[in-house]
Every structure is written in C-alpha cells, then in structure tokens.
Amino acid sequence: MTDKYAPRPGETVLDAEVAPDAHVQFIGVIRTPFKTRDDCPRQGRFDGPECRIEVEARFVPALQGLEPGKRLEILYWLHQSRRDLLTQSPKSDGKTRGTFALRSPVRPNPIGTSLVELVAVDGAVLTVRGLDCLDGTPLLDIKPDRCGYSVQAPDK
Ligand code: SAM
C-alpha cells in the first residue's frame, strides 16, 4: 500500500529525529537594532529599520520560493518574557486585562508574530522590515502572508 503522506516528488525531508510532542525547535536567530526591550517598538512597521533573519544552514532549502517585495509572517520566541501572568496592567494605560486579551510579550507561551516586508534573500539570511523584537530573539517559523502567494490547496 502506498503512504499518501509520503514525500512527493521534489520534496526534501530533514534528516533528524522529529520530536514526538509539542517541543518546538528554534530555526534561526533574529538580528535587530533593538538592544533593550525599551528600544523595541510596541509593534513593527513596514517603514521600520532593516533587520536580519539568520536561518540555520540546515533549513536553507526551506527558503526556496521566497521573493523580495513579498510579505511574510514571522513567528519568534520572546525569550526574555516572564510566563506566569494571567492578568496584566500595561504601562500604556494601566487598565487590567487578561493576558489573552493583550498582545503583550508576557504569556504562557511567549510567541510573537509580525508581518514583515521581505527586502532581500542572501543564502541563509533574509533582510526584512517590520520587526519589533530584541536582537538575538530566537526564530520559530516563517510563513507567506495569508493573502500572498501561497499555493491554493484543492478541495479534498
Ligand atoms: N508583534 C508581536 C506580537 O504582536 O505578537 C510582539 C508584540 S510585543 C507587544 C513587542 C514587545 O515585546 C516589544 O516592544 C518589547 O517590549 C518586547 N520584546 C521584544 N523582544 C522580546 C524578547 N525577545 N523577549 C521579551 N520581550 C521582548
């Protein structure tokens, strides 16, 4: 019997053990001009400074198809965040709200996301604008913008 989930022609598979649970692996590191949390903007902007996304060499084949000028969604691990607050009172207005009603970096799983504009691709390095994270923030994932150039999957 054939395995319908087997790699299709042209697909490549990482030669390493896949974690059996929800552990995530960092796939690179983000380089920004922001050295402290106070230096970071609250949210990134497309006219913000150029930042570098350094992807680990083993994942470079996974960058195939990325084109400068397109928008990407970047997911990262806000590694300096505490993770134990259920309600928070942001400095900006002091109003107390639940963690899940905020985009604060403080959350049980401190995952941040930003939409960025891809300026250039050079081997394992993406130059982008639109990030708001500290220099050295671990990279979790890169996805094309939802309405961008993703292949439309046919109905099942
Ligand atoms: N754009 C992302 C989102 O909406 O999911 C993150 C928004 S969060 C409000 C951005 C703030 O997180 C920055 O202004 C900075 O204070 C903080 N921050 C940035 N990088 C961080 C890191 N690596 N660890 C902890 N906090 C960080």
Residue 149 pLDDT: 53
For this complex, say whether ipTM is above 0.90.
Answer: yes
Residue 148 pLDDT: 60
CA–CA gap between residue 70 and residue 78 (Å, rounded): 24
Give tens-digit pLDDT for 25-73: 999 999 999 999 999 999 999 999 999 999 999 999 999 999 999 999 9
Q: Residues with Cβ < 8 Å from 113, sequence gap 6 or more?
A: 73, 74, 75, 76
* Residue closest to 114 by CA, chosen among 135, 127, 133: 133
| Full set of structural domains in the chain with CATH | 28-144 (2.40.30.70)
40 alpha carbon – ligand 1 mean position (Å): 7
Give tens-digit pLDDT for 110-143: 999 999 999 999 999 999 999 999 999 999 999 9
Q: Which of 81, 97, 132 to mutate to test the pocket of ligand 1 (most atoms within 8 A of CB)?
A: 132
Local confidence band at 152 (pLDDT 50, 70, 90 cut-offs): low
- Phi and psi of 62, rounded to 5°? -75, -5
Closest approach atom of ligand 1 to CA 42: 14
In one letter, which amino acid is 63? L
